[in-house]
Amino acid sequence: MLRLLIVDDEKNARDGLAEAFRDRYVVQTAASGMEAIRLLSGAVPPIDLVLTDLRMAGKSGLDVVAFCRSLQPPPPCILMTAYGDIAMAVQAMKQGAADFLAKPLDLDAVEVALQKALEERSSQSQPPKEGAGGPILGNSPAMAKVLELVRKVAPSEAAVLLTGETGVGKELLAREIHRLSSRRGGPFFAVNGAAIPRDMVESALFGHERGAFTDAYRQHRGYFERASGGTLLLDEVGELSPETQVKLLRVLETRTFERLGGQETLTADLRLVAATNVPLEELVRSGQFRSDLYYRLCVVPIAVPSLRERAEDIPLLLDHFFRRADRPPTIRRDALALLQRYRWPGNVRELRNFCESIAILRAGEVLCAKDLDGRFRLSPAELDAIPLPCGELDSDSSALRRALETAGENRARAAKILGISRSTLYRRMRREGL
């Protein structure tokens, strides 16, 4: 039976759902987002599905979604809330939720959503055809240069540092490096350093022994152990604490590590690819990132261009994303011109979401310039007034202030301008005292 985790801070709701689905799933429950994250990080066997409330004290349902996305493979996560609205649903889906359900729940609708999420996970887990390499699309000179670097570095064991804004496709390039390497037969894991609570990062990376800390009920193998023989992508590496940076440096220098609370020395037999959406050299200069670790990670740097830097690839990407639609819309030249002029702060990820939206709302229709919403029809001067995305790790308070001013203090829109999630915006605002 598949394992279902139900997360809700209301005991009656939690227990009622557990009872309703106990005959079809092995059910576990959590009374908070943090408890859910701890269960997900150490579950053996892993959780297959997550059904979580949205509004909870401390870690919210969106935090649970983000953590699920950091796991390999990521379990589908379905959000439920008594405050359901379209805007919140869009936010949840953009952050990786498999579905969104409004309370009071219809149990039949919940079961349908769970089955749909499992079916989608099954279809996505099918191995790619030999030579496919994933949808890395682009005929522009900027992307041609990146792909040439990938082909050259992949056969080696050199550490690679992928840099670029959120949504440019760094994980796809890391997977391509793995596919073209001698480790292609081994596992590939992608872990997001910002999505894991800081007090759980070392456990996630290095593992822990039973009793190493509160709630460590069993031994847990970390990513460095599970990725043995393969490739590990460490995304948002600039988010690592100074203590974790020291331990990561030791792994790179000695190829050894220990689980938390353990004495056994283990060997790290893997290829490490790091990624960041803020220049690490800036963090080095400010003392937030170790220079010795930076030089270990940045043996071969690859700068991934933003979508606005390769606007000529947009027609190719539109065609790719519309192939999934039953009745795709037709984009007229005047509309295409606006799409190519737009700055795409969310990069390829934002373009994909745009395509999914209009493939549903304008199926089979002809789309011209006047049909696009206001963001695409801004004048060049207005476009230039919008600050460029500063990236997930930007700690510059002036960039945050500019985004908030441009968005009229609307935090959701400010996060969109910066190309970051709303929860990350809140975290940055707290850090800068805004």
Q: Is residue 133 a part of any domain in this protein?
A: no
Q: Is residue 130 a part of any domain in this protein?
A: no
Choose one of 272, 303, 334: the last residue of a domain.
Answer: 303
- Same-domain pairing of 98 and 235: no
Q: Is residue 211 a part of any domain in this protein?
A: yes
Question: What is the distance of C-alpha 272 from the center of its chain?
Answer: 18
- Same-domain pairing of 150 and 299: yes
What pLDDT does 304 receive?
A: 95
Domain that residue 166 falls in: 142-303
- Same-domain pairing of 211 and 334: no
Query: Does pLDDT of 345 surpass 90?
Result: no
Burial 335-372 (b: 16+ CB within 10 A, else e): bbebbebbbbbbbbbbbbbbbeebbeebeeeebeeebb
Comparing 72 with 77, the larger pLDDT belongs to 77
Q: How confident is the model at residue 129 (pLDDT cuts 50, 70, 90)?
A: very low
Choose one of 249, 282, 303: the last residue of a domain.
Answer: 303
CATH of the domain at 267: 3.40.50.300
Q: Is residue 44 a part of any domain in this protein?
A: yes
Q: Is residue 290 a part of any domain in this protein?
A: yes
What pLDDT does 398 receive?
A: 60
- Same-domain pairing of 366 and 406: no
What pLDDT does 387 receive?
A: 46
Q: State the Cα–Cα distance between residues 424 and 392, nearest whole angstrom.
A: 7
Q: Is residue 70 a part of any domain in this protein?
A: yes
- Same-domain pairing of 24 and 101: yes
pLDDT in tens, 237-293: 998 999 999 999 999 999 999 999 999 999 999 999 999 998 899 999 999 999 999
Q: How far is CA 139 from CA 143, 172, 348, in A?
A: 7, 16, 15
Q: Is residue 68 a part of any domain in this protein?
A: yes
Mean pLDDT of the chain: 83
Choose one of 383, 404, 419: the last residue of a domain.
Answer: 383
Give me the DSSP letters along 291-320.
HHHHHHH-SEEEEPPPGGGGGGGHHHHHHH
Residue 428's nearest CA partner among 240, 168, 239 is 239
- Same-domain pairing of 156 and 193: yes
- Same-domain pairing of 318 and 425: no
Angle at which helices 397-406 and 411-418 cross, to 10°: 120
Q: Contact 367/335 with Cβ under 8 angstroms?
A: yes
What pLDDT does 422 receive?
A: 64
pLDDT in tens, 98-119: 888 888 888 878 888 888 888 7
CATH of the domain at 338: 1.10.8.60
Q: Please state the domain count of the chain.
A: 4
State both tokens at 380: 């060049």
* Over residues 44-55, mean pLDDT: 87
State both tokens at 6: 């139900």
- Same-domain pairing of 164 and 296: yes
Q: Contact 401/329 with Cβ under 8 angstroms?
A: no
- Same-domain pairing of 298 and 334: no
- Same-domain pairing of 314 and 294: no
pLDDT in tens, 374-395: 878 766 555 455 444 333 333 3
218 in helix, strand or coil?
A: coil
- Same-domain pairing of 224 and 363: no
- Same-domain pairing of 232 and 93: no
CATH of the domain at 30: 3.40.50.2300
* Over residues 215-237, mean pLDDT: 88
Q: Is residue 178 a part of any domain in this protein?
A: yes
Give me the DSSP letters along 17-76.
HHHHHTTTSEEEEESSHHHHHHHHHH-SSPP-EEEEES--SSS-HHHHHHHHHHSSSPPP
